[in-house]
Each structure stands twice: as C-alpha cells, then as structure tokens.
Amino acid sequence: MVKKVLVTGGAGYIGSHTVVELFRSGYEPLILDDYRNSEVSVIGRIKQITGKAPEVILGDVCDEDLVNEIFQNHKLSGVIHFAAYKAVGESVEKPLKYYSNNISGLLSILKPICEMGNIPFVFSSSCTVYGEPQGLKEVNEQTPRSIPTSPYGYTKWLGEQIIRDAFLAQKELRLMNLRYFNPIGAHPSGLIGELPIGKPNNLVPFITQTAAGIHKELVIFGNNYPTIDGTCVRDYIHVVDLAEAHVKAIDYLLLQQKGCRETVNIGTGTGTSVLELVNTFKDENKIDLKFSFGPERPGDVIEIFANVNYAKSLLGWTSKNDTRDAVRDAWNWEKSIRNIK
Ligand code: WQD
C-alpha cells in the first residue's frame, strides 16, 4: 500500500524538492499550498522530473477546518510541515505576520496529529534556534538554544517548544525537528529552484541575480569579522540533500514502534565564508561577479556550522553535494528562468 505523506508548503523551494524525493522513494505526496510563496507551474515541473503529478489541495495551513477535513479524507502515513514565512530580515519589520502565520499554522497541523496520535510528523526547524551560539562555531543538537536574533528564529524556537510540550503530554507521538542550516542550489534538471519574491534576502539568489544582470553588484555585508577572511561563515547545504533528509526522517519515524521526539541538524558539517562562496561561484561558473564590501547586517550570526554526526547515526543520512555543485545548480536554474543560454 503506497504511503501518503502530507507536505504543507509542498510547492515551495524546499517543499517541491522534497516532493520529488518522496516520489523517488515510493511515497505518495499530498501537497497543501496556497502558492503565496510559489507558482502553480512548479506542479507541472515536478511531473516533468518524476513522471507523476502530486495531488494538490489549494489552501492555507492556518485554516483549521480545511486541515481537519484533509486528515478526515486522507489516510496519511506522515506529515512534513514546511508552510511558514522564512525571511529573517522581513520578520524584524513584520513580526506579527510571522508569529500569527508560523505559530497558527503549526498549531493547526499539530492538533489533528495529537488527536489521532499515530501520524509521524516532521517539523521544518532552523539553525536560527541556536542564535549566536555563545562563541561556538560548530553546533550539535545538545548545544543550548540561545535567544534567537529575529522573530523568524523565535517562531522556530517556539515551534520546537510546542512540539516538546505536545510530546511530554502524549508520549505515543512520533515527532522530529530538522534544523536546517543554509539551503542553497536547485534541482540539477533546472526545472525547480528558489523563486524569491522581489529583492532576495538570501545570499545565493542575490549572487545568481547579479550574475544575470538584475543587480549591479553584490554587497557583502561586513568583512571585518573574526573569521577566516573577515566575512560571515555558514553551513551551505544543497537543497536536494536537504530534501533527501526529509525522506530519511519519515522512513525513520515510520519504523518506530513507540513514540519518540528527535531533533537533528541538517547541514554539511563544513563552514564556508561568504567570500569563499562567491569565489566558488565565480570559479565554477566562469563568471566575473561584481561585488563590494558594505556595512555589517544587523542580526547576522558571525559563524555557525553543523555537527552532523547525529543525522548520520540516527537517519543514515549525509550530504552528498558540496558548495561547488550547489552554485552550479543555482546558476543553471537562474539561467533557465531568465532564458539565458
Ligand atoms: C548568509 C550570509 C549575510 C545577502 C538563512 C535563512 C534562514 C535560515 C538560516 C533556514 C550572511 C550574507 C547575504 C547579501 C551578504 N535557514 N549576505 N549579502 O541570514 O544565514 O539565514 O539561513 O531556516 O531562513 O534566511 O542567510 O543567505 O541571508 O545570509 O553578504 O546580499 O550572506 O550577511 O552573512 P542567513 P543569508
């Protein structure tokens, strides 16, 4: 019997790549999305990649009646919850938008899961829950979560807290938080990738848009940090590797005979500076990217990257792609959406 997995936000950047990997692993993804951060065309492209079109329910994850209807009408083997706002900078400008959407959406999904008690649940969490990791650089799942530096980070911090408390009240639940580091890149087919709305907040889409001539130059926010070359360090993970980690998470939870609550870092285990990533992009794609150094961006963590031993021991998962693969696939995607040869 094919296992149906509800993917909220499944038409989005990470969601769509996860839907592809779910199909590839024999699951039947069911997407809940209202396309506020995506496009309907993504569904057809998923079919082009996999040969199968996922069933899509058009709607808002915060619509509790709709969500309850989905749980009543579909026999779900698992749920992966992506649908949330995720721009750190925007969350500082519009905190209520983030708290209401991200927390209400989680509660809307978690309620039927707790009522039914037996559906494995994977939560899209984030390394932002570590905040500025108290002078550490490499963080593991036991590294104390510190005060997040943005409302976005707080919604992930609070989300993990809600999941923890739900589990303490119902030990039969099977729950997993995946703490993403910096997702980058696109599907090697060039058919799906990141679709930032307006000016991108994140580094890699800004790099590829600058390479496409949309921006005059990239401004690197700060080059006097106490790091290898003065620019911030992150753990950049290829979005396909991240998608595969979600399938491994569902595989794992389905095998559990009793309740569990796990939290897993999903990164490469390697720190890469902004300047190193820019130079990798230039070298891999043979592009002379224009950039300059500008003022530091408030709220930026100086250096953080993942200890990924637990992902390997618990899920049998490790990343397979490196930043070279990711910047190549990111540029390939940018060229395909801009019709650049
Ligand atoms: C990376 C580095 C910037 C743009 C992201 C996601 C967040 C979470 C964590 C998953 C920083 C620098 C950027 C630019 C630059 N992921 N930069 N010039 O802030 O680490 O957060 O990962 O939950 O959702 O937003 O990512 O790509 O914004 O910045 O110099 O034009 O690139 O200062 O050092 P960040 P980012």
CA geometry: angle 278, 279, 282, nearest 5 deg? 90
If you average pLDDT over residues 36-50, what whole number do you get?
96
Q: Confirm whether 152 is a catalytic residue.
A: yes
In the predicted structure, residue 316 carries a pLDDT above the cut 90: yes
Q: Which two tokens stand for residue 286?
A: 């043979």
pLDDT at 145: 86
pLDDT digits (tens, 9 = 90+) for 189-198: 999 999 888 8
- Amino acid (one-letter) located at 107: L
Q: Assign 68 to helix, strand or coil.
A: helix
Question: Average pLDDT in the 118-130 region?
Answer: 94
Q: Are 225 and 232 in contact (CB under 8 A)?
A: yes
CB-based contacts of 150, cutoff 8 Å, min separation 6: 88, 89, 91, 92, 128, 299
d(CA 296, CA 312): 35
* 52 Rama sector, left if φ>0, alpha if ψ -120 to 50, beta otherwise: beta
Chain mean pLDDT for the chain = 95
For the stretch 85-112, pLDDT in tens is: 998 888 989 999 999 999 999 999 999 9
pLDDT of residue 196: 84
* CA of residue 131 to ligand 1 center, whole Å: 13
Q: Tell me which of 33-37, 196-200, 331-335 is least confident.
A: 196-200
Distance CA 121, CA 35 (A): 22
Q: Cβ(74)–Cβ(216) under 8 Å?
A: no
The proportion of the chain whose per-residue pLDDT surpasses 70, expressed as a percent, equals 100
Q: Say what the pLDDT of residue 260 is.
A: 98
Q: What is the pLDDT of residue 148?
A: 84
Mean pLDDT is lowest, of 44-48, 55-59, 133-137, 198-202, for: 133-137
Q: Among 184, 202, 278, 293, which is best to mutate for testing ligand 1, by the most ligand atoms less than 8 A from CB?
A: 202
Segment 1-31, tens digit of pLDDT:
889 999 999 999 999 999 999 999 999 999 9
Which position has the token pair 């397979």? Answer: 320
Residue 202 C-alpha to ligand 1 middle, in angstroms? 5
Residues with CB under 6 A from ligand 1: 86, 88, 126-128, 180, 182, 201-203, 206, 218-221, 232, 234, 274, 297, 300
Whether 289 shows a pLDDT value over 90: the answer reads yes
Look at residue 24 in the predicted model and tell me its pLDDT: 98
Report the helix count and the strand count for the chain, using DSSP H and E: 12, 15
pLDDT at 150: 87
- Kindly report, residue by residue over 179-227, the tens digit of the pLDDT: 999 999 999 999 999 988 888 889 999 999 999 999 999 999 999 999 9
Phi-psi region of 299 (alpha: psi -120 to 50; beta: other; left: phi over 0): left
Relative to the CA of 277, which ligand 1 atom is closest?
32
